[in-house]
Chains A and B, each alone.
Chain A
Amino acid sequence: MNKININQNVDITILNTNKFKDILISVRFLNNFTKESALNRLVLSLMLQDRTNKYNTKDKFVKQLDLMYGAIGSVKASNNGLAHALSFNTKVINDKFTTTKLLESQFELLNEMIFNPLKDGDLLSKETFSEAIINLKSMISRRNDRPSSFAFDKVLNLLGKDYALSDSALPSFDEVEKITLQGVTNEYNNALQTNKVDIIIIGDVDNDLIKQYTKKHLSFDSREISIESEYAIKPFDLVEESITKKIDQSVLALAFTTNISIGSDDYFKLRVANAIFGQLPTSLLFQQVREKNSLCYSIYSNILPYEASMVVTTGIEKGNVEKAKELILIQFESMKSGNFSDEDFETSKLMLIDSINQSNDDVISLLNFNYQNIILNNQRNFDSCISTILATTKDDVIEIFKQINHVVTFTLLQEDNT
């Protein structure tokens, strides 16, 4: 990995690899999270992804992508705890498989997307703003239509009340109505001028050429910014809530505080503990709730890395909700008392290590892992993660689970006779 500092808080990270047929370039703007800014950036991500000043209609933009052998150009807004990233991502086939030179075109495309959006005077385009608002409302409706997403958002909202987490889900329709073009334009200008900028490149590239093209097409001045991302949601008294809907399957979601966030030295010990509890087919949850009691098709325990929390979700028949909840909590107690086998413990470590090794072959995993390091300002590599996993003991896992608290139970129940 090559890291090149261009200006203060402006860096290039290059991962040279010849595994992939294309070259990924991601330009990321990192800012401290506020709800208003995150909403504006979400709208920005929808406005900036299919038109620019030069390619001012969708058909012109898509034509440019197609002429670059179906290049991928997208913009994404994502929450990382107390930090928020606005990412411009492009993937273009490597020159060695094409008859035309595409690397500089890829930089030119990014330049257009980032620096030359469609505008009406000093403001960003009204037309793209209106369309983005319509699309955002559709996104919200669709997410609410999916019972599993609806339940997941609800549990995060209950878990993260008083924290940034409760503001990180999709907004309500009322909140969308309050978003203004002026606010979104200000956010765009702010992102370009003040946010921490990282240009991440993965592929078979000539680093000197990358430096040259970056200087020419993706030039950013120095900026002062200090970013925080991880935080720990503190334990609180159990909150239980349920909502009834006319659906075919109930959804049960339990949230826990873990007290261990992603930058902690204990984070990979937590990963081992979570794998034993509910991440793998060998896990206590999968074996007891699905395999032994046939209550569900899938059950997972997911870590919220930046918020020091964990959520268990499953879909079940309404009549089995209480039984499933009881079984989940029995497994939770089993983890605290070390009531899991040595074999399950070793298997979980092995599977986690294999999954980390497989990440080396996946461009998105490589991108996310490296950007995570940038956000956390740490130097983790796959080997150091594997070393921590190997050094984790059964006692570590028990101690970690003793710190975990069950704080929320949310149930999305089927209406009777559905």
Chain B
Amino acid sequence: MRKIVQSKFDEIYYEQTLSNLLQVVIWSKKDFSTTSCVFATPYGSNDYKQVINDGKLIENNAGIAHFLEHKMFEQDDSDVMSDFSRLGANVNAFTSYNETAYTFTTAKKDISEPLNLLLDFVQKLSITQESVEKEKGIIIQELAMYKQMADSRLFFETLKNLFHNHPLKIDIGGDSESVSAISKEELEQCYKINYHPSKMTLIITTPCDPIEVMKIIEKNQNAKTFDEPILNERFKEEESETTVVKYASIDMDVAINKVTYSYKLKPLNCDSQQRCKSEWAIRFILELYFSSMNPNYQNWLDEEVINDYFFTEIDLGKDYGYIIFGNECEKAEKFKEFVINEMANLLKFDLLNLESLNQLKKRYQGQALRTFNNTEDISTSYIRYKYNGLSIFETIEAIESLNIAFVKDMVNSLDLSNDLLFEIKPLN
């Protein structure tokens, strides 16, 4: 095991790649009682179309990764959730755009049983036609629950109208039609392609002895055989630089209009480190101009141009990019004008100086340190950062390396010509 000491943060962890190429991380938290474990594959909702070994395109129904996450919890005649409960451990899972992760937490001193159970249930798919059909009702209710949450709907509908073909335009869980169409065979094929140990990462944040924990994992993995891994990559959709429409709206049972004004950005052609640094540069400038750091922010609130709902969001992925401004207001067009005007002001860079840059660096240094307060946050953040291309420590370094010239260059290079105004209107 490779021991990594982050003395600045008073953190120690261990890394090892097993003979079956499973990557294992054991994060040592001796003072804690809780063990938090995450077993993840970089297979998310954006991967519903994949190209495998021989160039063959596998095209599945949208929401397949999330459906598979649900079905993993069924093992022959047993129910995995109940099995974990009987061991005094909480099991959970989540599917995002880029990954599916299975987690458990427990304060038990001996973690061998829940750890073996996690490894075993994620490394075996055991489903029947009947159980697949039965799950559809539960998932459709889950989708209905999210559909009536105005805030998440605002975000998903914005993405739907920003992207023509990119999988971000589809909700993580798919829709009731795509979920109804998913078959047992489709799930089995996806599992075979994406759950090979060579593709997966296991992280355990624990007070237990790392050497003993590694022994449990090795013993479990050495007793199993796996097929040859199937090489795969996400199918790259052709995506226009333009947004699908310039304006869209839906009606919902809300009291006041919820609005987003967004810019679709060209994907950056660079490595993960540069992409991360660029994203943080834009995040910094947005914080500086569109938050209470800007003395004008109070005027905007007083004049009710924005309210306490106002937010900005920046995401620079490998093959996409966007900035979203969100607000609650009656006149969407007026909000759009406000953002356009303030983006023009932003290009004057009058608020960007060494003092404000260092202020933001300190804020995020503190925020990063807080991640290490909680074993679950450590495990989940580790996976999220890893699948984004950089570790949490590399991300902190990228933030610390930001300088005024880089921020200015990054902002000046933004092409803001492809925009979208979207609103959720109250029902008449």
Mark B325-356 against chain A: 1 for CB-CB distance below 8 A, else 0: 00010000000000000000000000000000
- Asked if A265 is an interface residue, CB under 8 A from chain B, the answer is no
Q: How far is the CA of A351 from the CA of B360 in the complex (A)?
A: 41
Query: Are A144 and B88 in contact, CB atoms less than 8 angstroms apart?
Result: no
Q: Please tell me if A34 contacts chain B, counting CB pairs below 8 Å.
A: no
Instruction: Tell me the chain B residues, 359-392 only, with Cβ under 8 Å from chain A.
Output: 359-360, 362-367, 369-370, 372-375
Judged by a CB distance under 8 angstroms, whether B196 is at the interface is no
Cβ–Cβ contact B145 & A247, under 8 A: no
**Shortest Cβ gap from B155 to chain A (Å):** 15
A297 nearest CB neighbor, chain B only? B142
Which listed residue (B79, B138, B254, B301) contacts A294, Cβ 8 A?
B138
Q: How far is the CB of A234 from chain B (nearest CB, A)?
A: 34
Chain B CB within 8 A of A371 CB: no
Query: Is the Cβ of B294 less than 8 Å from the Cβ of A347?
Result: no
Q: Are B366 and A138 in contact (CB under 8 A)?
A: no
- B390: min CB distance to chain A, Å: 20
The distance from the CB of B93 to the nearest CB of chain A, in whole angstroms, is 12
Q: With A19-B31, A249-B145, A315-B144 given, is the CB distance from A70 to B137 under 8 Å?
A: no
Contact B105–A298 (Cβ < 8 Å): no
User: B150 near A146 (CB under 8 angstroms)?
Assistant: yes
Which one of A19, A21, A135, A358 contacts B105 once the chains associate, using CB atoms below 8 Å? A358
Q: Mark A267-300, 1 if CB is under 8 A from B, else 0.
A: 0000000000000111000010011001111100
A-B contact count (CB 8 A): 179
Judge whether A343 and B86 touch: CB under 8 Å.
yes
A357: nearest residue on chain B (CB-CB)?
B107
> Which A residues are CB-close (under 8 A) to B135?
294
Q: How far in angstroms is the closest Cβ of chain A from B374? A: 7
> For the side of the interface on A, what is the size category?
35 or more
Contact between A245 and B369 (Cβ–Cβ < 8 Å)?
A: no
Which residue of chain A lies nearest to B254 when distances are taken between CB atoms in the complex?
A: A145
A18 within 8 A of B: yes
Contact at B138–A296, with CB atoms within 8 Å? yes
Asked if B406 is at the interface (CB within 8 A of a chain A CB), the reply is no
| Docked CA distance A147–B81 (Å) | 28
Q: Known A315-B141, A317-B144, A358-B107; judge A21-B373 contact (CB<8 A).
A: yes
The distance in angstroms between the C-alpha atoms of A208 and B344, with both chains bound, is 53
Instruction: Please tell me if B60 contacts chain A, counting CB pairs below 8 Å.
Output: no
Known contacts A70-B362, A354-B107, A358-B33; decide if A146 and B149 are in contact (CB<8 Å): yes
Chain A residue nearest to B153 in the complex (CB): A248
Q: Which of B292, B302, B375 contacts A50 (CB 8 A)?
A: B292
Question: Which of B106, B150, B254, B255 is within 8 Å of A354, CB to CB?
Answer: B106
Is A248 a contact partner of B148 (Cβ separation < 8 A)?
yes
Per-residue A-contact encoding for B27-58, CB less than 8 Å = 1, 0 else: 00001111000000000000000000000000
Taken together as a complex, chains A and B put the C-alpha atoms of A307 and B105 apart, in Å, by 30
Q: Are B107 and A138 in contact (CB under 8 A)?
A: no
Q: Decide yes or no: A294 and B137 within 8 Å by CB, A70-B367, A97-B10, A246-B427 being known contacts.
A: yes
Residue of A nearest to B258 (CB): A145
CA distance A355 to B372 in the complex (A): 20
Q: Is A179 interfacial (CB 8 A cutoff)? A: no
Q: Is A59 an interface residue (CB 8 A)?
A: yes
Tell me which residues from 44 to 78 in chain B have a Cβ below 8 Å from any Cβ of chain A. none
A97 touches B369 (CB 8 A): yes
Among B32, B85, B106, B252, contact of A347 (Cβ-Cβ < 8 Å): B85
The reply to whether A135 and B308 contact each other, CB–CB distance below 8 Å, is: yes
A337 at the interface (CB under 8 A from B): no
A282 to B295 alpha-carbon distance, docked (Å)? 53
Residues of A within 8 A of B138 (CB): 290, 294, 296-297
Q: Known interface pairs A70-B367, A145-B254, A347-B82. Does A354 touch B88 (Cβ–Cβ under 8 Å)? A: yes
B249 within 8 A of A: no
Which residue of B has the minimal Cβ distance to A136? B308
Residues in B neighbouring A147, C-beta threshold 8 A: 148, 253
Using known A-B contacts A97-B369, A134-B307, determine if residue A361 contacts B33 with beta carbons closer than 8 Å. Answer: yes
In the assembled complex, B283 has its CB within 8 A of some CB on chain A: no
**A363 contacts partner chain B, Cβ-Cβ < 8 Å:** yes
| A294-B142 Cα distance, complex, nearest whole Å | 11
With a CB–CB cut-off of 8 A, which chain B residues contact A357?
33-34, 107
* Minimum C-beta distance from A337 to chain B (A): 22
Q: Closest residue to B296 on the A side, CB-wise?
A: A59
Binds B, one of A36-44, A61-69, A222-230: A61-69
Give the nearest-CB partner of A280 in chain B. B85
Q: Cβ of A145 and Cβ of B253 under 8 Å apart?
A: yes
Q: Which residues of A contact B293 (CB under 8 A)?
A: 59, 62-63
Given known A-B contacts A20-B373, A295-B137, A282 and B81 have beta carbons under 8 A apart: yes
Residue A198 interfacial (CB < 8 Å) = no
With A297-B142, A354-B89, A361-B33 as contacts: A58 and B297 at CB distance below 8 Å = yes
CB<8 Å pairs between A and B, sample of 30: A21-B9, A21-B370, A59-B295, A61-B292, A65-B363, A69-B363, A70-B366, A93-B369, A93-B370, A97-B8, A97-B9, A131-B302, A142-B309, A147-B148, A246-B253, A281-B82, A281-B91, A294-B136, A295-B141, A297-B138, A315-B141, A315-B144, A315-B145, A317-B144, A350-B88, A351-B85, A354-B89, A354-B90, A354-B107, A361-B375
What residues of chain A have their CB less than 8 Å away from a CB belonging to chain B?
17-22, 50, 57-59, 61-63, 65-71, 91, 93, 96-97, 127, 131, 134-135, 138, 141-142, 144-148, 245-249, 280-282, 287, 290-291, 294-298, 315-317, 343, 347, 350-351, 353-355, 357-358, 360-363
**Sorted from nearest, which 6 A-B pairs have the closest CB atoms?**
A70-B366, A69-B366, A357-B107, A294-B137, A281-B81, A58-B292
